[in-house]
Amino acid sequence: MSQMKKTLLSLAFAVLIASPGCSIQKFALRSIDGILDNSMLAIMEEEDLTLAEQSIGSDLKLIDGLIKTDPENEKLLFLACEGYTSYALAFAEDSLERARLFYTRARDYGERALTLRGIPDSAFHSDAAAMRGALAKLSSEDIPYVFWTVSAWGNAVNLERDNPDALASLPIVNAMMEWVKAKDSTFYNGGPLLYYGIHYGSLPAMFGGNAELSKSYFERAIAASDGKFLMTLVYYAKTYAVQTQDEALFKELLTRVIETPLDVLPEQRLANAVAKVKARKLLAQVSELF
């Protein structure tokens, strides 16, 4: 067991045995916040997928337990949202039920954090106009909270495109990501741009798809990380290239992913390692997709 993990467990034990509101509990929770931050950063730098999956899983269950102790801790709620979204994308998408479970859990944690930061709960169940009004009260400091919440929510919707209730929430989801894009379109390696590339590239024209808009957003997202965040290339191939039946582009993008060294973006080794796995799977499906 690593020294960091031992420290986490010791502090977690202090939280659990201490009386609610006591100074020991508060000190332990504050200490754990910082350690969990560093733990998640270290996991994102990990290239071994088995080790990363085990580490994220154990950290997430620890965070779940800490949230039960301090249910209004914004930082813990945010870490849970970010962590479950990342876990679902990296390790659960081969199972529809698991992916749906984790994306929904991530969204719920994110909504709780945003409620504490000033967005009324009703805004998540109303319409795009209500959400825009609520978001107008937030600042740039809230970008990570909104981005990861809407990433989880958007991915959950993508898994249920045949569910009218899920699709009905898309205007709210889009309003949230539009807010992030307006504040900082390059956040998380061009994450907001990637979102819209996927959005416009995964739908037929009759349902709102737009190939040219999709291509434009993907190219801007690639530029945001200088082409180093490989997941962007994977989704460019998976959505736009497939929707437009551009087999040459599909193969070019995925081959580039496979041939790019993991160290091209050290802080995102895990995401890039996952991108390589997804790229190989997609290349194996060429005959089915084209």
Asked if residues 8 and 39 have their Cβ atoms less than 8 Å apart, the reply is yes
pTM of the entire structure?
A: 0.89
Residue among 274, 281, 226, 279 nearest 43 (CA): 274
At CA 194, angle to CA 156 and CA 111, rounded to 5?
40
Mean pLDDT, to the nearest integer, of 139-168?
A: 93
> Residue 28 — very low, low, confident or very high, per pLDDT cuts 50/70/90?
low
- Express as a percent the part of the chain with pLDDT over 90: 77
3-state secondary structure labels for all residues of the chain: CCHHHHHHHHHHHHHHHCCCCCHHHHHHHHHHHHHHHHHHHHHHCCCCHHHHHHHHHHHHHHHHHHHHHCCCCHHHHHHHHHHHHHHHHHHHCCCHHHHHHHHHHHHHHHHHHHHHCCCCHHHHHCCHHHHHHHHCCCCHHHHHHHHHHHHHHHHHHHCCCCCHHHHHCHHHHHHHHHHHHHHCCCHHHHHHHHHHHHHHHCCCHHHCCCHHHHHHHHHHHHHHCCCCCHHHHHHHHHHHHHHCCCHHHHHHHHHHHHHCCHHHCHHHHHHHHHHHHHHHHHHCCHHHHC
Write down the pLDDT at residue 23: 54
pLDDT band at 38 (very low <50, low <70, confident <90, very high): confident
pLDDT in tens, 189-232: 999 999 999 999 988 888 789 999 999 999 999 999 999 999 99
Q: The tokens of 106 are what?
A: 């991530």
| pLDDT, averaged across the chain | 90
CA R_g for the chain: 19
Q: Is the pLDDT of residue 152 over 90?
A: yes
- Give the dihedral of Cα atoms 44, 220, 183, 195; nearest 10 deg: -60
- Residues present in the chain in total: 290
Q: Give the pLDDT band (50/70/90) at residue 24.
A: low
* 109-150 pLDDT per residue, tens: 999 999 999 999 999 999 999 999 999 999 999 999 999 999
What's residue 27's pLDDT? 55
Q: What is the rounded CA–CA span in Å between residue 146 and residue 33?
A: 19
- pLDDT for the residue 10: 44
Residue 12 has pLDDT above 70, yes or no: no
Q: Are 200 and 236 in contact (CB under 8 A)?
A: no
Please answer whether residues 11 and 28 qualify as being in contact, where contact means their C-beta atoms are separated by less than 8 angstroms.
yes
Taking 50 as the threshold, does the pLDDT of residue 3 lie above it? no
Q: Would you state the structure tokens that stand for residue 233, as one six-digit string?
A: 């290339």
